[in-house]
Chains A and B, each alone.
Chain A
Amino acid sequence: MKTSAPADHDDLRDALRALCADFPAAYHRRHGADETYPEEFIDALTKAGWMAAMIPAEFGGSGLGLTEASIVMEEINRAGGNAGHCHGQMYNMSTLLRHGSEAQKKSYLPKVASGELRLQSMAVTEPTTGTDTTKLKTTAVKKGNDRYVINGQKVWISRVQHSDLMILLARTTPLSEVKRKSEGLSVFLLELAQVVGKGMEVKPIANMVGHETNELFFDDLEIPAETLIGEEGQGFRYILDGLNAERALIAAECIGDGYWFVEKASRYANERQVFGRPIGQNQGIQFPIARAFVNVEAANLMRFEACRRFDAGEPAGAQANMAKLLAADASWEAANACLQTFGGFGFAEEYDVERKFRETRLYQVAPISTNLILSYVAEHILDMPRSF
């Protein structure tokens, strides 16, 4: 299947495809069904240097940009896997790279590059505030000069049991004492081994997409002040860099899914004979697949534009959000067309369509829902009144 993506990264894609081919659909299906983490796959990606794509060469990585990182994510999903098991490291990287101190980068990045440490988790979402991030209730209170004390609760925090480091967003100055609600939030980089069971409890959430994701409870957790990233109170701004990166990466994953569905559907439509001819000969089958492909291709253009801006240090929020919306819609449309094309067989686990269908559905909701992107566009790009 020939796509409109620029050929610049074909060398990366070829190598990624060769690696992913060692982990066939049955491997990902098994991990999906057992809800277990695909350790061998993530280790292979790490060993071959892919999880360190964005780490600067001086710290042992390849010093590439979000564009290349997004290609890693796209190829994982396009090969039938689920990059949700490892994308955290790519977007968390942006927060650490852009706002971490030299000391923090020196102490963590080489180990993350070598695979000794994983930086896979980011704790933002809370049960009672949801998308309304600036209202989050988890607090970090300074104790003396060298400690913070954390109290509160998080939900849907992914990969905590398979990560060594976690980025935490908490309020350091009460909402009532700041001029703008985006102020007074701070970002911390926690070593999970130092906090789990010592003030932070982890409770797994069984879910529809095989994500390892959890509730976190903080009860007077004391952490060293050096864990603070950047300046106290500026955390929301820092995390936004990570969130924009995350949106562009998720867009790329959806695009990988979209191509996977279109390829799978068109091949099946050519092979499956009903009424004495391939079902793909009916416009009722081929048009939805063709339209899904068109939409995946269009979303892909916005994804590359978002990544380009991010890598150039230009404002990328609007494009990252729009890419996320377009790509999530396109992959969902492709998923639906694929499931329909497969008829009854799409519901059988062995074709992987139902699994990928569930997995790609997540991206209508997380990490930011479609509605919230639309209100962002309406308010911030089109200057309409805030609707909430």
Chain B
Amino acid sequence: MKVLVPVKRVIDYNVKVRVKGDGSGVDLANVKMSMNPFDEIACEAAIRMKESGAVEEVIAVSIGVKQAQETLRTALAMGCDRAILIVATDDVHTDIEPLAVAKLLKAVVDAEEPGLVICGKQAIDNDMNATGQMLSALLGWSQATFASKIDIDGDHATVKREVDGGMQSIKVKMPAVISVDLRLNEPRYASLPNIMKAKKKPLDEKTPEDYGVDVSPRLEVVKTAEPPERDAGIIVKSVDELLDKLKNEAGVI
């Protein structure tokens, strides 16, 4: 079985995000970019499947600017076998929308015929949490979202999902799209020899036209704003005072 892992290049989670002066988005010029942390977890899951012998090949795909090459090299250094880059824009500020990404991924699935797609549950930049679900709908495959444990058994997968109330286990038919949550695993860091090997692994470059997919935006960002500054807290003297403030000042109980 082949596994496809989509990886997105996003602003590094350590970077202090700054909103652009005109409110059109977040400033990404000269900012450190990294692989979306949930996608690292997806890569790790796929690579472990390969190491256990259940999977023959792990293919990483990224859709975005040309610089996403670096993100794919990271995936290759972790242990993915080869990579496909679909250059869909040359502007670092253009976010390719989930539906366009899902359509492109569907086209890649059609061409590569993997038995499983493992993706992050969401990208930390736009927090859409939509691509995996859309892809499963377009493919007509099963979906299992927010995975914190995955067991593949022949033509079924058992997936433990992190839901609001706790954990839910579901059994889905393969092929499937599985989106992963934070607690599935702890991604490895690349070793130096693997970084060197990754430089020689195949990385194909494509365009949306190669797959006949239109990536023009359908959503309009109206405004982006910094979160309001939090006021300093206060220390209350007693439980009664706390209850009083929650009831009469904050109005939350």
Interface residues of A (CB under 8 A from B): 2, 10-12, 14-15, 18-19, 47-50, 52-53, 62, 64
Contacts and interface: CB of A to CB of B under 8 A. Distances in A.
A62 B30 contact: no
B192 A62 contact: yes
Contacts, number: 37
A296 B197 CA distance: 33
Given A2-B30, A11-B70, A62 B77 contact: no
Contact of B34 (A12, A14, A47, A48): A14
Contact of A11 (B30, B74, B193): B74
Interface in B183-241: 189-196
Interface SS of chain B: helix, strand, loop or mixed? helix
B30 A15 contact: no
A48 B30 contact: no
A64 B34 CA distance: 24
A90 to B, nearest CB: 13
Contacts of B74: 11, 14
B191 A48 contact: yes
Nearest to A1: B32
Contact of B195 (A2, A15, A47, A52): A15
A38 B177 CA distance: 43
Contacts of B77: 11, 15
A50 B192 contact: yes
A2 B29 CA distance: 12
Contacts of B189: 15, 18-19, 48
A28 to B, nearest CB: 18
B121 interface: no
Interface SS of chain A: helix, strand, loop or mixed? helix
A49 B70 contact: no
B73 interface: yes
Q: Chain B: interface residue count, which band?
A: 10 to 19
A299 to B, nearest CB: 22
Contact of A49 (B34, B73, B193): B193
B191 A12 contact: no
13 contacts: A10-B70, A11-B73, A12-B192, A12-B195, A14-B34, A15-B77, A15-B189, A15-B190, A15-B191, A18-B189, A48-B192, A49-B192, A52-B192
Interface string B139-182: 00000000000000000000000000000000000000000000
A173 B197 CA distance: 47
A47 B70 contact: no
A10 B73 CA distance: 11
A388 B193 CA distance: 47
B192 A15 contact: yes
Given A14-B74, A48-B192, A50-B192, 6 more contacts: A10-B70, A11-B70, A11-B73, A14-B34, A15-B192, A19-B189
A47 B194 CA distance: 12
Given A11-B77, A14-B74, A62 B196 contact: yes
A106 to B, nearest CB: 20
Nearest to A15: B190
Nearest to B186: A22
A166 to B, nearest CB: 25
Contacts of A19: 189
A12 B195 CA distance: 8
A47 B191 contact: yes
Query: Which of A2, A48, A53: most chain B Cβ within 10 A?
Result: A48
Query: Which of B34, B192, B193, B196: most chain A Cβ within 10 A?
Result: B192
Query: Which of B74, B189, B191, B194: most chain A Cβ within 10 A?
Result: B189
Contacts of B194: 49
Nearest to B192: A49
Query: Which of B70, B74, B196: most chain A Cβ within 10 A?
Result: B196
Nearest to A68: B192
B62 to A, nearest CB: 15
A53 B70 CA distance: 21
Contacts of B196: 62
Contacts of A52: 192
Nearest to B30: A2
Query: Which of A2, A12, A62, A64: most chain B Cβ within 10 A?
Result: A62
Query: Which of A12, A14, A47, A62: most chain B Cβ within 10 A?
Result: A14
Contacts of A11: 70, 73-74, 77, 190, 195
B93 to A, nearest CB: 18
A273 to B, nearest CB: 11
A332 B91 CA distance: 41
Interface in B66-90: 70, 73-74, 77
A64 B199 CA distance: 14
Contacts of B193: 49, 62
A123 to B, nearest CB: 28
Nearest to B194: A49
Nearest to B73: A11
A233 B9 CA distance: 56
A11 B192 CA distance: 10
A309 B195 CA distance: 24
A47 B188 CA distance: 13
Contacts of A14: 34, 74, 190
Contacts of B191: 15, 47-49
A53 B192 CA distance: 7
B150 to A, nearest CB: 23
A78 to B, nearest CB: 14
Nearest to A60: B193
